[in-house]
Amino acid sequence: MIKGLSTAGMCLMIVSCTTLSTLLPERDKTPLTPQGQMNVCLLQESQRRVTRGNAGDLSVAAAEVARYCVRQLDLEDEGLDEQAALNAKYFLESFSAEPGRN
C-alpha cells in the first residue's frame, strides 16, 4: 500500500511540474552582443534597400548602411565600422542575387 501511494505521489509531482513549466512564460534569451545587434541592423537595412530598389552601387550602399547602423546603435566606439561595411556589402550582394531580382 505504501509503495502504491509513493508511486502515485511521484507521478502526481511529475505531472504537476510538467504542467507548471508550460504555464510559466519563457525567460528572455541572452541579449545580442554589439556585433550581433549590428548584423541584425545591417541585414534589415540591406534588405530594405534592395526591396525598394535603391541599392545602386553596392560599395556605396554598403558604406551608407554601415554608417547608418553604427550611428543608430551608438556603436562608434566599438570599432565595428570596417566589419559593418563588409557585412553590409555581403548582405546587399546576397539580396541582389536572389532569384527574380534584376
By residue range, what is the domain housing residue 80? Answer: 34-96
Nearest to 51 by CA among 87, 86, 102, 88: 102
Residue 9 lies in a domain: no
pLDDT in tens, 47-70: 998 888 877 888 899 999 999 999
Kindly give, in sequence order, each residue whose CB lies less than 8 Å from that of residue 89, ignoring residues fewer than 6 positions away: 58, 59, 62
Q: Where are the alpha helices (DSSP H) in 53-102?
A: 58-72, 81-96
Four-residue CA torsion sign, 80, 83, 87, 88: positive
Mean local confidence (pLDDT), 21-47: 79
Band (18; pLDDT cuts 50, 70, 90): very low
Residue 16 lies in a domain: no
Q: How many residues would you count in the chain?
A: 102
**Domains contained in the chain, number:** 1
Residue 29 lies in a domain: no
Residue 62 lies in a domain: yes
Greater confidence, 77 or 23? 77
Residue 8 lies in a domain: no
Kindly tell me if the per-residue pLDDT of 17 is higher than 70: no
Greater confidence, 9 or 84? 84
Residue in the block written with cell 561595411 = 85
> Do the beta carbons of residue 91 and residue 43 sit within 8 Å?
yes
Residue in the block written with cell 550581433 = 36
Residue 27 lies in a domain: no
